[in-house]
Structures are given as structure tokens and as C-alpha cells.
Homo-oligomer: A and B are copies of this chain.
Amino acid sequence: MINKTVKDATEAVKDVFSNSVLMFGGFGLCGIPENCLRALLLKDLTGLTCISNNAGVDDFGIGLMLQKHMVKKMISSYVGENAEFERQLLSGELEVELIPQGTLAERVRAGGAGIPAFFTPAGVGTEVADGKEIREFDGKLYLLERWLKADFSFVKAWKGDTAGNLIFKGTARNFNPMMATAGRITIAEVEELVPAGELDPNQIHTPGIYVHRIFQGEKYEKRIEQRTVSK
């Protein structure tokens, strides 16, 4: 099986270029590609378009890329937890495109699945529908939405093998599987990298065909946004 392993995050992100379109897996701070994000921060990048359900917090995740003024545009469904984000948005430094979460997920899936457009009911009658084709099917109104693709997709899995097969854990799966399919180059970081053949083929969440580079992340902080416990 083709070996997709690269040494580390630095090598994995070596050819990411300014003004490129990047996708990041994760929901909030859960399941984000921490090691790739750290490596990207060390690069001299500007004008990036970032597709990610959220925009991190001020001092973690994509928030750190915003602090360094690397991002020109965010495409997200919810960007609430980030003061620097708000400042840049209000000052006009940052452009933001807000997309319903399910539409975002499906547009990314469509990008990977070769479906250039599909109809969805989300957003009919709202400003999300502005400028979009609306059509009735079986008595209900739907919007036409386009696929989304990226130059680079960054995803984080629990386990992976050298062939690029990935298994996610818990709700850290979230946007990672679709984003893996929609990157021209997809970079996966995993908590545990094993030789091809060690993962059960029946339990693979993302087949290795979608992953171009894989490495075991050096460190996972896994920060929690809302630590909620029962007594």
C-alpha cells in the first residue's frame, strides 16, 4: 500500500502558499488539527481563505492565525467565541461568509463527491437565499447550493495508518471526514500512527485515498471550551 507518511507537521505544511483556500476539520476546539495549525503559524502566509465550522478562540486554533493577520476570509457557520475576530471583522480587515452548518457540511461533502450543486431547504426565505436559485420539489421550496473545495485540507484523527486510513473518536469526527475528501491536498494528523494493515478495514472512517500526507502529532492539548460536569 502506498505510504503517505511525512516526518512532522512542518514537513506536512511545507508548500502551503499565501492566498490559498484551506479547510480545517473540527467543531469548536474539538477535533482540530492542532499540530498543523501550530506549524502554519510559523510560516509567512497572508490572504488565506479558511473554511472551518468555527474560528477558534483568541488564543487557540484558527484564532491564532487571525492574531497574525494571515486570514483574509473565513467561511464558517458560527464564529462567536473570538474577540480579535470581531475586531477585524468590524474594521473591515476580515471578510466572513456565514453558511448554515448543514449546508456547509453538505457543500464540502459535495466538493469531495463530484456533485457541483444540490438543493437544500436550509435558508429558504432568509437572507441566505439572496441571489440563489429557488425551486419547488414536491410542494416544498429549496435553494440551490454549490460545492466547496480547498487547496489544502487539514484534518485530525484519532488513529491512522501509513496508507492514510483514518479512524476518528467521539464527536471529534465532526467536519473532518468530509473535509478530507474535498482537499486537492489533504493532510491528516493523528494521535497514533500505525503500519498499514493494523486497522480493521471495516472500521475505517476515511479511506486512505483521500489522504496525501499523514503524521503523528507531537502534542495534543485538546482544550475544552465548556467544561461542564455533573456533581
Contact = CB atoms under 8 A, between A and B. Distances in A.
B116 A117 contact: no
Interface of A: 106, 110, 113-121, 135, 137-138, 140, 142, 146, 167-170, 202-203
A170 B110 CA distance: 25
Contact of A119 (B118, B137, B170): B118
A57 to B, nearest CB: 27
A175 to B, nearest CB: 16
B118 A114 contact: no
Contacts of A146: 137
B120 A119 contact: no
Contacts of A117: 118-119, 135, 137, 142
Contact of A203 (B113, B140, B170, B203): B203
Nearest to A168: B202
Contacts of A170: 202
A119 B121 contact: no
Nearest to A102: B114
